[in-house]
Amino acid sequence: MVVAHQLTPPSSRQEKLRDIELPIIDLMAERSEVSKLIVKASENFGFFKVINHGVPQQVIKAMEDESYGFFSKPASQKQRAGPTNPYGYGCKNIGINGDYGEVEYLLLHTNPLSIFQRSNTISNDPTLFRWAVNGYMEAVRELACEILELMAEGLRVSDTSVFSNFLRDSDSDSLLRLNHYPPLQLLQLHNTRNNRIGFGEHTDPQILTILRSNDVPGLQISPHEDGSWVPVSPHPSTAFCVNVGDALQALTNGRFLSVRHRAMVNSCRTRMSMAYFGAPATNTRIACSPELLSPHKTNLYRPFTWDEYKKATYSRKLGDTRLHFFRVQSDHDDLSE
């Protein structure tokens, strides 16, 4: 069974928005239909959820247990794994540009050697931690590759591994970020003006994000041009939330949308999420496949390397747009800051 819910734009930005369900796609359904629904969701929303994804529950639980175990430690012990430079433990300060949020996080590179080197400062049982992280990252990378190949099939690209090969590269620059959002006190929850930012608005610069979170609300997306924010209903099962990154928007010549999103802290319960960011190797050239171009649909973006885009991204604050600086300028474009 494949379920695809539709988003309805709000009639007014002042209207109180209700939680919505993103398209929920069953990966065990008929392949051609799954491919079509993934393409449609990527074009319309940039976000969707997948069920029957093949990632074993024990792999998910092992990673969740290690995450909860780390964040439950005293602050002094967690700080041994930081500061983020660029990987490691961070608390409230997000990146190097002054961004701030009600979040503590652990940022890891997916390279096994990097995980091995950092595990001693993260876990009391480094061997168990490495086993959990490597198992989880291998499973979600395979899920990401499967989704990218379904996307390529839906776009009718002859080489259906054109996107997934970026993630399978042994020098892939993919990341895993564990986010822990603290609960608000009851007094804060009753304050209607309280609207605390857990992780500020941004788009993901990589190719594809695979997100697993507990059943606590907080994720919001901004899919409409009016700039309004729509809360996303948490999915209590083992579903993964998937979203298009900036690099994939460029690779599909703007056909797939990298949508702004953020995480809020408005719950009396702890929220925890695990985000896999699938990225190419740093020297990889990002350019749209010629099969997705035509005389009526020319290149929107100039080719760039992942390292070039990554540096442009991390030199700016959260919420600042980056991809438009790589657009092919026409007589009608105004790309001034």
Which residue do the tokens 């979170």 mark? Answer: 213
The whole-angstrom separation of Cα 206 and Cα 176 is 12
Task: Tell me the three state secondary structure of residue 317.
Answer: coil
The whole-angstrom separation of Cα 27 and Cα 36 is 12
Contact 150, 37 (CB under 8 A): no
In Å, the largest CA–CA distance within the chain is 60
DSSP string, 50-111: EES----HHHHHHHHHHHHHHHTS-HHHHGGG-S-SSSEEEEEEETTTTEEEEEEEEEEES-
Which residue do the tokens 């760039």 mark? Answer: 304
| Burial degree of 87 (CB within 10 A; 0-12, 13-18, 19+) | buried
Of the listed 130, 212, 262, 271, which one is catalytic? 271
Contact 23, 48 (CB under 8 A): yes
Give me 120's structure tokens: 């001693």
Q: Detail the DSSP E strand segments found in the chain.
A: 24-26, 47-51, 88-94, 99-109, 175-181, 196-202, 208-213, 219-221, 230-231, 240-244, 261-265, 271-278, 285-286, 304-305
Give me 215's structure tokens: 């059943």
* 18 counts as catalytic: no
Contact 281, 171 (CB under 8 A): yes
Give me 124's structure tokens: 């009391």
Contact 179, 272 (CB under 8 A): yes
Q: Which residues carry out catalysis?
A: 271
